[in-house]
Each structure stands twice: as structure tokens, then as C-alpha cells.
């Protein structure tokens, strides 16, 4: 009668009587006397699963009808207190379990805002009733811990198995019916409460399971088409392309064809040098042997000063270095040292590990995160930049699908408290006091992996160790995702600041592969850029199969085709300057889309470039008398490609008019303001 022994410890005298009575009349309860019982493993999941602890019911921050549960039962102890002891324990009636407020409400025998949740013959209801009958203990029987859960998907069913460990060893138990199941894409697959999976449409969905404080996920794929029309003779695939192609096969998607060489060349220049290629560089590209010209161009660009600038700016953005002017206080520019350092990171060949180490360990006013004053802001900065994880949700509440809880967020924040003077001189680690309560928080690393830092490190060194080694590869995964994102236009993990279980990569295998390679190469940025830039994924065409129907092409979602993306405002201005070979002393277009179009049309930005002495359009008309050749050169200069026959036919008459030069300027304006130039296809 282990359970009854426990009850006497928990409840007053009366509950023991109740439990004894119950034990006498409910053999079902007593028969399992030796089985361990824990509120968190038996009762909490029911509250979560039945929706009682959902955000729109008792799980809200303020509760509902005076009864508050933790969101998705994240805090069993708190919930137990609310059920068992609040209102002087009037929610449960140990003598007459059926009369408990806690049971009559969901049966709707009493007015219940949430309507009827259970019927009397529901197994969940019976479990709750038996639990109250047994004295509503928090735990009973031998002590055991929930060690983790495993989710498997087979034969159209999800199965969740929980591992419990105790002195007696490990036991497993099927907890599918008690687990919260959800899907990342309900239009593909949707789990039922009993674990069955309803298939809805083609694509990939990740089934997420939650039991206790553990989450797990597993993918389920429904191919779009049965056959994969992959042509033979693709023996020399890079590991990246092989991983991506096998995903295409799995998903039953036909990859788009390769982009035309001009398009690919323009892409490479914009991505690696921040500008379109000059006609001279275009010619050089086509003079190279076809098999090696992409790799050779990539290598040349990787060694260029422009690459250092473009990726230096990316790295600064990833580490959230404030742009000039953004962080000025009282007219004093701040973070100038920091910006100077970041401008030269790529140029100096620093790996991302070295940059991260510098950011985390070097003391001084110019650390990227020092301008944030609250240790919690700093911890969140760390999460976003180093790991690509948003830990901010946990600042306010335990998030059901986060790996960490509020307490862990605070403990991690304690690492970032400002150092304080040590007795006897020098500085010592800072302390972080819980806002509102004033109690100091013991620092602890986020529970991402089981690795523990070596002893004797300073706080700064420990956070650096955590980012680079203790995070189980998340650092590499984060940056592989970001680099992929800037090159392909779409990161593998959508919203790259928010890696989490319920936000999987569109191709997990591809991201895994890139992250591993990146880590193996010592976090070398150039190497990773090269791997992606010479791949087939990078070279995919962006041409839609049906221009009338741009929305909802699964090829875009699954990276079977590239999506044309607009040049950023600054990129656009730089591109105009680069094409015309002049500097234009005007600001870049505004972000707002209407203001941007008005700016391009009416501000005179392009006109100013076209009127600047010695610009490249002018040069065409200085040296090239033949209108047909002029048109050819204009197109090659501005769009990196020759005009099509239709274009030549339609536009040539313009250049044959009276004032060819003025006409040429207008045509150059039209090409620069045109749809194609402003887009990276």
C-alpha cells in the first residue's frame, strides 16, 4: 500500500480515511501498489491533452474563472498546488471524489466556461477520479525520473515511448495517448490524439510530441509525384548536391533546370562582390572552359576585396553590430572600434569561431553585446547570434515547445551580468539579481547538450566554450544556415534567429551536411561560400513554370527552384553606380516599396548617373556609331546579356532617331529602372 503511506504524508487525517475507503472499494488502484505514481507523469499530461492548460483556457497568464494552470502543464508542482490546495482544498473532495469541483466542472455538472470536456466513461475522467479517490497525492510508490521520450512513426501512426529511470532500473511505457501531438504542416499530415496520423497532402511535415518536459520530433514525407525524372549521368555530384537531390527524390519533386549562364554569372557577382559583372568580366567568364568557369570565377571573387566587404557586412549583421548612427548617444558615435573590427574580419581571414571568441571574451566598451544593459538582453543576444535561437519567449513564460524554462533563461542571463570589483582589487564575476525578488541567480548554461565546460574558466571563456563546443554543433548549424540564406536567398531554417524543434530546416540532411563540413573546416567562411556557390542548388533557374500563377509552387518551398528576389535598396544604388562607372552623390532608395518606386522614377538618381561625365553609357555613344551595336552594348553593360531578337526589333528604332545619344540615355534609364535589373533572378 505504498500509495496510502504517501497520502498520510500529504493530506490531513481525513484524506487518509478517504484513501482507505477508496482502497477498499477500488481494487484497480490498490492492485498496482508497487507501481510508481507521479502527478507530472499521470495527471499533468491529461490536463494538457484535454486542453485545460491551453493558452485560451486555464493556461493563460491570468487563468480562467479564478483557476490557473501553467501553460500546457509546464509546471506540474504549481498546477498540483492549484488543484489540491487552493481555495482551501475545495477543488477536490476526497470523501466523494465525484463531487469534486475539479471533476464536476469539466463534466459540466456545474457551469463551466470551457463547456463539457469529459464524459463519465472517459478513461481520462476515470484516472482523475481514481486519483482523487486515492487521496490526490503528488507522488507515490518508488521514486522515478522521466529520462526522455522517443517518437517513432510507422504504419501511419506516431508512437511515443517514455523512459523512466529509478533505482530498480529503466522501464519504458507507451505514452502516446498522454502526449501532446502536433504537426508543423497540417496540410501534409495531422496527428490524432490517439497517435494515428491523418494524411492531407503532399510535402513534408514534422510530427512533434511532448510529454513531461521532453519534446521530440520525427518527419513524415508524402511525395508530390511517384517518379523522379532525374536524368542519368550525374555521377560527379558534390556531397551537397547529392544530399539535396536525394531529398528531391524523396519528395518526388523535379528540380528546375540550371539557370542560363548569364543569369548565374550575374547572381555570382551580386552575391560575392555586391555588384553586377562588367562587360569585360562577362567576356572573361565566357572565354573560360565551360566545365570549370563557375569554380574559377568563384575562386577569383573569393579572393577579391569586394568579397571581404560584402561578407564583412553580412558577418557584422549576423553579430548585430549597430550601423553608424543607430547607436549614437548625445551626438557621440559609439561602437566605432567594433565596426572597424568587423569591417576587416573577412579580410583578415578570421574564421567565425575566432570572431565569436573575440566578441564573447574580449573585455572593453566595444563588445557587440555590451551596449545592452540588461543581462537578459545579453543572453538573448547570445542566443540569437551564436546559436540562432530565440530564447526570449522563456523570459516571460515556459514555452511548451522550447527546450528551456524560465528559470533556465534567468540562470543563463546571470552569465552576462557586469563584472564587479573584487575585494582586494581587480574584478570578479558579476551577479544577477532576480528582478522584483532581489534574490541572486546562480549562473547555469542552457541545457542544450550534456557536455560540461572544463573547470577554471572565466564566465566569458565559459560562454565562448558553450557557443563553440558545448552547444552540440548548434553554432555551426546556425552559421551554415545563415550563409546558405544569403547565397540562395532563402535560409534552410526559416527565420534564422529562431532554430527550434518546431521550426525544422526544409532539408535537415542538407543543413546537417553543411554544418558538419563547416565545423570540420574550422568554421572557414570562404570554404562554405565556395561549397554552396559552385553547387547545383545555387545554380537553379528561377523561371516559374507558369508566370500567371506565382503563388503556391511547392518547388519554391522545397528549394527545387530558385526564387527571384529584389535587390536591396543599397545594393540597387551600388549596382547603378557600378554599371555606369561613376559615383552618385545621393542616398539609396527608401525601404518602403511605394517610396522606392517614386524615388527610382522621380528622384533623378539614375539621371544623375547618366549625366555624369565619362559614364559608361556615354562611352558607348562616344565610341560606337552603329545603333545595333549600341543596343548590344547597352544590354551587355546593364543586364549582362545581349538583347533578344524581340527586344532588338522593338528597341532599335529608338536609337535610330535624331538624337541617338538622348534616346540612349532614356533607354539606359528604362533598363536600369526596369523589372529585370532590380531583381536577382
Partner 1 sequence: MNRRNFLTTMGALPFLPRLVSGAEFLKQSKRSLILIWLDGGMSHIDTFDGKPEAPLDIRGDLVCRESSLEGAFVSEHLPRISAMMKDCVLVRSVTSPEGNHDRASCHVLTGRRPNPVLNYPSIGAIFGHEAEDTSAQVPPFVAIPDAHYYARQGFMPITRGPFEIGGSPGVKDFRVNNLNPPSQLDRAMKLLKTVDALDGGPRSESERGRDRFLDQARFLSLDPEVRSMFDVNRETVELRARYGRHFLGQSCLLARRLVEGGVRTAFIRYKGWDDHRGIKDALTFGYPPKLTALDQAVSALHEDLERRGMLERTMVMVATEFGRTPRLNPAAGRDHWSRASSSLLFGAGLKKGVLVGKTDARGEAPVERPVTPGDLFYTVLAALGADVETKMHTETGRPIPVVEESMTPIREALA
- Tell me which residues touch partner 1 (CB under 8 A): 380, 390, 392-393, 395, 494-495, 498, 503, 542-544, 547-548, 550-551, 563-566, 590-599, 601-604, 607, 644, 646-647, 650-651, 654, 663, 665-667, 669-671, 673-676, 678-679, 681
Comparison of 395 and 530: residue with beta carbon closer to partner 1: 395
Comparison of 231 and 547: residue with beta carbon closer to partner 1: 547
Q: How far is the CB of 458 from partner 1 (least distance, A)?
A: 28
Comparison of 483 and 672: residue with beta carbon closer to partner 1: 672
Q: How far is the CB of 546 from partner 1 (least distance, A)?
A: 11
The three cell numbers of residue 67 are 483557476
Comparison of 528 and 539: residue with beta carbon closer to partner 1: 539
Q: How far is the CB of 667 from partner 1 (least distance, A)?
A: 6
Q: Phi first, then psi: give them for residue 7, nearest 5 degrees.
A: -60, -40
Q: How far is the CB of 439 from partner 1 (least distance, A)?
A: 22
Which 3-state string (H, E, C) describes 519-555? HHCCCCHHHHHHHHHCCCCCCECCCCCCCCCCCCCHH
Comparison of 518 and 677: residue with beta carbon closer to partner 1: 677
Q: Give the SS3 label for residue 31.
A: coil
Comparison of 238 and 571: residue with beta carbon closer to partner 1: 571
Strand segments, DSSP code E, in 295-392 are none
Comparison of 391 and 582: residue with beta carbon closer to partner 1: 391
Comparison of 512 and 543: residue with beta carbon closer to partner 1: 543
Residues β-bridged to residue 209: 181, 216
Q: Is 548 exposed, middle or buried (0-12, 13-18, 19+ CB in 10 A)?
A: exposed
Comparison of 235 and 549: residue with beta carbon closer to partner 1: 549
Q: How far is the CB of 174 from partner 1 (least distance, A)?
A: 31
Comparison of 107 and 564: residue with beta carbon closer to partner 1: 564
Residue 467 contacts residue 475 (beta carbons within 8 Å): yes
Q: How far apart are alpha carbons 346 and 368 in whole angstroms?
A: 17
Q: How far is the CB of 565 from partner 1 (least distance, A)?
A: 6
Task: Name the DSSP letter for residue 221.
Answer: E
Comparison of 114 and 453: residue with beta carbon closer to partner 1: 114
Residue 326 contacts residue 316 (beta carbons within 8 Å): no
Comparison of 178 and 620: residue with beta carbon closer to partner 1: 620
Q: How far is the CB of 591 from partner 1 (least distance, A)?
A: 6
Residue 204 contacts residue 221 (beta carbons within 8 Å): yes
635 alpha-carbon distance from chain centroid: 40
Q: How far apart are alpha carbons 222 and 487 in whole angstroms?
A: 28
Residue 195 contacts residue 208 (beta carbons within 8 Å): no
Residue 130 contacts residue 105 (beta carbons within 8 Å): no
Residues β-bridged to residue 164: 146, 171
Residue 270: closest CA among 234, 301, 229, 303 = 301
Cβ–Cβ contacts within 10 Å for residue 373, how many? 8
Comparison of 127 and 654: residue with beta carbon closer to partner 1: 654
Q: How far is the CB of 641 from partner 1 (least distance, A)?
A: 12
Count, residues in the chain = 681
Q: How far apart are alpha carbons 585 and 96 in whole angstroms?
A: 84
Q: Is 562 exposed, middle or buried (0-12, 13-18, 19+ CB in 10 A)?
A: buried
Q: Phi first, then psi: give them for residue 172, nearest 5 degrees.
A: -120, 155
Q: How far apart are alpha carbons 576 and 594 in whole angstroms?
A: 19
Name the region of 87 (left: φ>0; alpha: ψ -120 to 50; beta: rest).
left
Q: How far apart are alpha carbons 551 and 544 in whole angstroms?
A: 10
Q: How far is the CB of 70 from partner 1 (least distance, A)?
A: 19
Q: How far is the CB of 387 from partner 1 (least distance, A)?
A: 15
The three cell numbers of residue 579 are 554599371
Comparison of 253 and 667: residue with beta carbon closer to partner 1: 667
Q: How far is the CB of 214 from partner 1 (least distance, A)?
A: 23
Distances (CA, A) of 58 to 43, 50, 99, 181, 527: 15, 11, 21, 19, 52
Q: How far apart are alpha carbons 39 and 57 in whole angstroms?
A: 20
What DSSP line would sit under 72-131, residue for residue? Answer: GG--HHHHHHHHHTHHHHTT--SSSGGG-HHHHTTTTSS--TT-----TT-HHHHHHHHH
Q: How far is the CB of 598 from partner 1 (least distance, A)?
A: 4
Q: How far is the CB of 393 from partner 1 (least distance, A)?
A: 6
Cβ–Cβ contacts within 10 Å for residue 227, how many? 9
Positive or negative torsion for Cα 153, 155, 158, 162: negative
Q: How far is the CB of 557 from partner 1 (least distance, A)?
A: 12
Q: How far is the CB of 551 from partner 1 (least distance, A)?
A: 7
Comparison of 307 and 381: residue with beta carbon closer to partner 1: 381
Taking each helix axis from N to C end, the angle separating 508-520 and 474-488, rounded to the nearest 10 degrees, works out to: 110
Amino acid at each position: 500500500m505504498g500509495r496510502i503511506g504517501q497520502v498520510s504524508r500529504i493530506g490531513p487525517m481525513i484524506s487518509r480515511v478517504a484513501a482507505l475507503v477508496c482502497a477498499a472499494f477500488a481494487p484497480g488502484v490498490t492492485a498496482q501498489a508497487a507501481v510508481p505514481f507521479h502527478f507530472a507523469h499521470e495527471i499533468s499530461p491529461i490536463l494538457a491533452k484535454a486542453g485545460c492548460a491551453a493558452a485560451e483556457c486555464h493556461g493563460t497568464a491570468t487563468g480562467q474563472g479564478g483557476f490557473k494552470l501553467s501553460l500546457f502543464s509546464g509546471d506540474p508542482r504549481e498546477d498540483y498546488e492549484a488543484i489540491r490546495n487552493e481555495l482551501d482544498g475545495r477543488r477536490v473532495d476526497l470523501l466523494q471524489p465525484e463531487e469534486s469541483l475539479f471533476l464536476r466542472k469539466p463534466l459540466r455538472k456545474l457551469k463551466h466556461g470551457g463547456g463539457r470536456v469529459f464524459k463519465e466513461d472517459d478513461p481520462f475522467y476515470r484516472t482523475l477520479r481514481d486519483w482523487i479517490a486515492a487521496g490526490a497525492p503528488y507522488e507515490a510508490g518508488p521514486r522515478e525520473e522521466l529520462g526522455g521520450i522517443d517518437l517513432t512513426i510507422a504504419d501511419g501512426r506516431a508512437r511515443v515511448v517514455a523512459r523512466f529511470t529509478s533505482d530498480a532500473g529503466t522501464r519504458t511505457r507507451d505514452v502516446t495517448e498522454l502526449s501532446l501531438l502536433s504537426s508543423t504542416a497540417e496540410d501534409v499530415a495531422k496527428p490524432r490524439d490517439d497517435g494515428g496520423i491523418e494524411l492531407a497532402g503532399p510535402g513534408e511535415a514534422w510530427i512533434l510530441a511532448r510529454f513531461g518536459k521532453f519534446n521530440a520530433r520525427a518527419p513524415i514525407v508524402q511525395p508530390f509525384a511517384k517518379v523522379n525524372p532525374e536524368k542519368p549521368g550525374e555521377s560527379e555530384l558534390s556531397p551537397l548536391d547529392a544530399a539535396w537531390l536525394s531529398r528531391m527524390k524523396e519528395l518526388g519533386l523535379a528540380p528546375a533546370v540550371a539557370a542560363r549562364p548569364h543569369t548565374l554569372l550575374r547572381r555570382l557577382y551580386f552575391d560575392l562582390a555586391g555588384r553586377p559583372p562588367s562587360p569585360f568580366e562577362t567576356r572573361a567568364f565566357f572565354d573560360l572552359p565551360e566545365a570549370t568557369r563557375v569554380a574559377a570565377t568563384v575562386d577569383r571573387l573569393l579572393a577579391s576585396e569586394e568579397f571581404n566587404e560584402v561578407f564583412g557586412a553580412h558577418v557584422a549583421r549576423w553579430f548585430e553590430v549597430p550601423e553608424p548612427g543607430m547607436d549614437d548617444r548625445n551626438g557621440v558615435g559609439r561602437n566605432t572600434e567594433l565596426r572597424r573590427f568587423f569591417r576587416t574580419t573577412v579580410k583578415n581571414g578570421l574564421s567565425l569561431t575566432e570572431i565569436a571568441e573575440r566578441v564573447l571574451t574580449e573585455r572593453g566598451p566595444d563588445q557587440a553585446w555590451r551596449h545592452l544593459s540588461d543581462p537578459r538582453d545579453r543572453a538573448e543576444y547570445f542566443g540569437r547570434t551564436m546559436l540562432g535561437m530565440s530564447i526570449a519567449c522563456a523570459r516571460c513564460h515556459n514555452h511548451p515547445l522550447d527546450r528551456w524554462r524560465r528559470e533556465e533563461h534567468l540562470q543563463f542571463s546571470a552569465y552576462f551580468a557586469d563584472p564587479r570589483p573584487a575585494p582586494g582589487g581587480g574584478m570578479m564575476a558579476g551577479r544577477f539579481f532576480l528582478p522584483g525578488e532581489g534574490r541572486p541567480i546562480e549562473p547555469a548554461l542552457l541545457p542544450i547538450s550534456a557536455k560540461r565546460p572544463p573547470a577554471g574558466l572565466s564566465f566569458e571563456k565559459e560562454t565562448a566554450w558553450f557557443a563553440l563546443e558545448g552547444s552540440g554543433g548548434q553554432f555551426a548549424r546556425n552559421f551554415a544556415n545563415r550563409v546558405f540564406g544569403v547565397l540562395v536567398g532563402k535560409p534552410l531554417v526559416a527565420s534564422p534567429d529562431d532554430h527550434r524543434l518546431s521550426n525544422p530546416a526544409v532539408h535537415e540532411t542538407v543543413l546537417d551536411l553543411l554544418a558538419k563540413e563547416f565545423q570540420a573546416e574550422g568554421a572557414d567562411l570562404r570554404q562554405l561560400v565556395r561549397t554552396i556557390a559552385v553547387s547545383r542548388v545555387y545554380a537553379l533557374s528561377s523561371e516559374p513554370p507558369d508566370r500567371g500563377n506565382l503563388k503556391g509552387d511547392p518547388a519554391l518551398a522545397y528549394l527545387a527552384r530558385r526564387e527571384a528576389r529584389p535587390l536591396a535598396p543599397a545594393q540597387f544604388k551600388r549596382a547603378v553606380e557600378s554599371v555606369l562607372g561613376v559615383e552618385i552623390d545621393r542616398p539609396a532608395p527608401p525601404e518602403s516599396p511605394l517610396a522606392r518606386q517614386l524615388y527610382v522614377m522621380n528622384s533623378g538618381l539614375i539621371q544623375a548617373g547618366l549625366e555624369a561625365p565619362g559614364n559608361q553609357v556615354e562611352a558607348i555613344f562616344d565610341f560606337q556609331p552603329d545603333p545595333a551595336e549600341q543596343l548590344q552594348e547597352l544590354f551587355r553593360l546593364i543586364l549582362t546579356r545581349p538583347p533578344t531578337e524581340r527586344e532588338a526589333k522593338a528597341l532599335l528604332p529608338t536609337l535610330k532617331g535624331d538624337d541617338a545619344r538622348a534616346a540612349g540615355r532614356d533607354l539606359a534609364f528604362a533598363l536600369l529602372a526596369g523589372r529585370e535589373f532590380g531583381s536577382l533572378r
